[in-house]
Amino acid sequence: MRNRNFSWLRLCTGLIFGLPYICIAQSNDIEMNVKFHPVSKYVPPLDSAAKTGSSRLIETAFSAHFGLYQKIDTTNGRLKLLNGAVFGKHTALSNTGFNEQVLPEDLYSVSAAVSFYSVLNRKWAYTLFLNSALNSDFLSVDYNDVFLTGGIQFIRNFSPKLRLGFGIIIHNNLGKPMFWPGLSVYWRFGGRFNFDIRVPDEGQGLAYTVAAGYQYNDRLRFAFAFKPQNISYDVKMRKAINNRLMNFWQLPFELSGTYTKGHFGYTANLGFSALRSFAYAEKDLRNMFTKYPYHGLNANLTFGAGVRYTF
């Protein structure tokens, strides 16, 4: 009998690794970012015996965006766009001083996304999106390592400086489809300022952005952002913990500056991570409200840099 789970795994991984070759002829931009989290003390669950240890994180992320299709109806000005994107992220944890293994050493996320945008009339538009991700420590890989997220959002354009979007997100983080509200707000005011909310934001897992920006001149802009992110991984711990689903939460605040010259954009950021927690659970919707112990790392500063090439 054919293994149905394996067929789905091949389909999703084929989408992840095949999409760049499909749309490479219509590339838009490529970006690389590195973020460094200094050594932080381990915070054990409240009801556990005291454990010692500390961990240092280095996150390396890659993204690329591709235009796949564009159509403009000259009779009514309606626009249709089909875009693709790929994302990759490696989180390396240097763990020292633990008396048992509670944190993984390496986490990987590779994903591909497609989105369709269509203008309905002068005031309304909508967008559809789908993201297929392989989130794993690669110690053991099967269909449980595949995470899907999709949704629809309707966008109301009040003016060229103000738009509001609302919709719904569907994801399978617990093995079955789950629904989540979606929201986007963009407001440009005072000539140089803007306010931006994206729920969800692009990238790995369920990412959110609440940001205020300032355009200093044509080349230099600054932003202060709150960027919560939850990524679910399928992991196989060598010791102590048997549950394979690991939810990794981060609550970072970041101040960033971006300088653009020609095709290149350079970004530097300084941030503060108020929370980094790891919870091991069962990938089953029946356990949605089950309380699992959280393993955390102390709040700490973060430093990052990135470069983007647009063409």
Domains and CATH numbers, the chain: 4-310 (2.40.160)
- Structure tokens belonging to residue 93: 């944890």
CA distance 110 to 35: 17
Average of per-residue pLDDT values in the chain:
85
Per-residue burial over 90-117, b = 16 or more CB atoms within 10 Å of its CB, e = otherwise: ebebebeebeeebbbeebbbbbbbbbbb
CA distance 271 to 259: 18
pLDDT band at 253 (very low <50, low <70, confident <90, very high): very high
Q: What angle do CA 208, 109, 116 make, to 5 degrees?
A: 55
What was the pLDDT predicted at 203? 78
Cβ-contact 70, 80 below 8 angstroms: yes
Whole-model pTM: value is 0.84
Q: Look at residue 289 and tell me whether its pLDDT is greater than 80.
A: no
Q: Of 69, 61, 59, which Cα lies nearest the Cα of 28?
A: 69
What is the average per-residue pLDDT within 266-294? 82
What was the pLDDT predicted at 45? 83
- Structure tokens belonging to residue 164: 């509001």
